[in-house]
Structure 1
């Protein structure tokens, strides 16, 4: 549990240091802390595995915003995910959101960050944070509770990009029209003899019905010293129907025959069927080497009781890995 303790208190200590270094902040300059969370639970059935009650998401967090002056605000968030501690994870056959290294029965801190927000952009110190690269470039096909297909989903990993990042220092420019550039560096190996193991940047456009983005990441990790990943994502909202797609190119520049050298892509169509019913259908595939290529067709139907509560039915069939289906209810609070 030392990892959890370190990640929990680091951003809080930074918040207190920044706050104490300036003049005392008046109480009305602090919006928060606000407690929020989500519980998404139901049943999961994976081929060759018994039907199981499942926590798809079980998150509890707090956050707030300090206004230091007209030019500086400080945003802080601390979120823990209990799903891995709740579920009986059989990795890679099943996976749990937030289980960063698949340590059984541990509570995982998914967000521990402090953001300095200024007129000149935002500077983030984020020991643990959901990947904004994944959220902004893949969201047009990332429509599912279970079959998310990112790099941390075990056998469901169609794409190479991870959902969760660690040891992130980021900078986001102010928006220029509807464009914004975000760059980040990450230290994933404290003994690699270089301060930063991952360099990443992306340009995002989001205006009206159209959104798109392009990003590039250079990764150095054990066994791979020069991996480059380029991603392009796009989506358009026609009102009743939304279309989206993503293309990902992974280039292992030291070994083109490795499993890390591959292309992946996906397309999605979503529809607002009525005021209460919505649905999404995705096709995605990759061409991984070593007979690790895979493709998937996944669909989900949701019934929205209100903006915070919905029920869902989800199913996916894979070419080479296990099919699955799931049902459940999601509650935001």
Structure 2
């Protein structure tokens, strides 16, 4: 076992031993499983492509929490995404999960166990939405189709992925709204390197203000030493919410390559009434090799209740395909 493995796993073993010492697993209490999901469907019109009925999101899953004692709770989640199996994906379009699978396959979006103790939360997560993306980029990720992350195909603005796999994570308890989260990812099991991605972030979320600063080191085929630094913020004024993010990608092996670039985005959202809301966002990057791009996106939503809304969204890109999307989202 390598020194890095020992340093990673020893705190986990210590915390679990301390947490379980008060009583046995046989005395645990189970809250769950609970079933939930979302179906968001409608019409997608991408430039130079036929109009198509489209599933923007189709998730269903279950989760629950075992309370072992006052010092240990065990949470589990299992969520599948069916959008890629439903849609007809090509180079001009994207669907959650489509970046690593064939058209028609169901994508397992979440499979994780979280060990929540007095000493922090330890995550064993074979497949999970990226917490890095979800906490630092969340204030600009407010649209249905134009989501900017690194797995959105031709229209990707940022390098950060939205989906992660093989994640071992640790999050400290919250102190005055602050929390630190560190993680290692073993995305390639055949490269003689246990940890292919090492990442950490400090986030703050209390009252109307949230922000986060994070750093990631990535080693993957073709890129041996990529460093990504990201900063995101948001402020809720009540009727209006403002947010932004900045990302710096430093390919220390090839500064002239496509992986070495800066990107940023801003967004303003407004609650016009209980039934209507709008968001307008702008993002751009300065990729090398004539791969730079920028986008202006707007969306209008009509909320029937807290679980159902209709939307109309449009995205205009400088160097890739514009799109218009419309549909209805139902959560359950």
TM-score by structure 1 length?
A: 0.92
- What is the CA deviation profile of residues 45-80 of structure 1, one whole-angstrom value per residue up to 9, with x for unaligned ones? 000001100000000100000001110000000000
- What is the CA deviation profile of residues 73-127 of structure 1, one whole-angstrom value per residue up to 9, with x for unaligned ones? 0000000000000000013x10002334141100000000000000110000000
Distance 2:67 2:272 in 1: 42
- Matched residue of 2:100: which SS? coil
Contact in 1 for aligned 2:89/2:98 (Cα 8 Å): no
Equivalent residues, number: 311
Say what the alpha-carbon RMSD is for the aligned residues: 1.2
Q: How does 1:196-235 map to 2 (within 5 A)?
A: 196-235=195-234
Distance 2:196 2:325 in 1: 37
Q: Could you tell me which residue of structure 1 aligns to residue 266 of structure 2?
A: 267
Shift of 1:191: 1.2
Distance 2:208 2:25 in 1: 43
Distance 2:211 2:25 in 1: 41
Shift of 1:128: 0.3
Contact in 2 for aligned 1:100/1:164 (Cα 8 Å): no
Distance 1:332 1:87 in 2: 19
Contact in 2 for aligned 1:100/1:108 (Cα 8 Å): no
Hey, which bits of structure 1, 4+ residues long, moved more than 4 A? none
- Matched residue of 1:24: which SS? helix
Distance 1:280 1:132 in 2: 23
Q: Could you tell me which residue of structure 1 aligns to residue 71 of structure 2?
A: 71
- Structure 1 residues 70 and 100: CA distance shift in structure 2, 3 A: farther
- Matching residue within 11, 15, 25 for 1:23: 25
- Structure 1 residues 117 and 100: CA distance shift in structure 2, 3 A: farther
Shift of 1:156: 1.2
Q: How does 1:79-118 map to 2 (within 5 A)?
A: 79-91=79-91, 93-118=92-117
Distance 1:25 1:192 in 2: 43
- Matched residue of 2:135: which SS? helix
Distance 2:329 2:308 in 1: 6
* 2:277 is equivalent to residue 278 of structure 1: yes
Distance 2:97 2:278 in 1: 25
Structure 2: gaps (5+ residues): 1-19
Shift of 1:321: 0.2
Structure 1: gaps (5+ residues): 1-18
* 2:44 is equivalent to residue 44 of structure 1: yes
Contact in 1 for aligned 2:268/2:281 (Cα 8 Å): yes
- Matched residue of 1:90: which SS? coil
Q: Could you tell me which residue of structure 2 aligns to residue 54 of structure 1?
A: 54
Q: How does 1:152-191 map to 2 (within 5 A)?
A: 152-191=151-190
Q: Could you tell me which residue of structure 1 aligns to residue 10 of structure 2?
A: none
Q: Could you tell me which residue of structure 2 aligns to residue 5 of structure 1?
A: none
Contact in 2 for aligned 1:219/1:225 (Cα 8 Å): yes
Shift of 1:22: 4.2
Q: Could you tell me which residue of structure 1 aligns to residue 246 of structure 2?
A: 247
Shift of 1:172: 0.2
Distance 2:171 2:98 in 1: 27
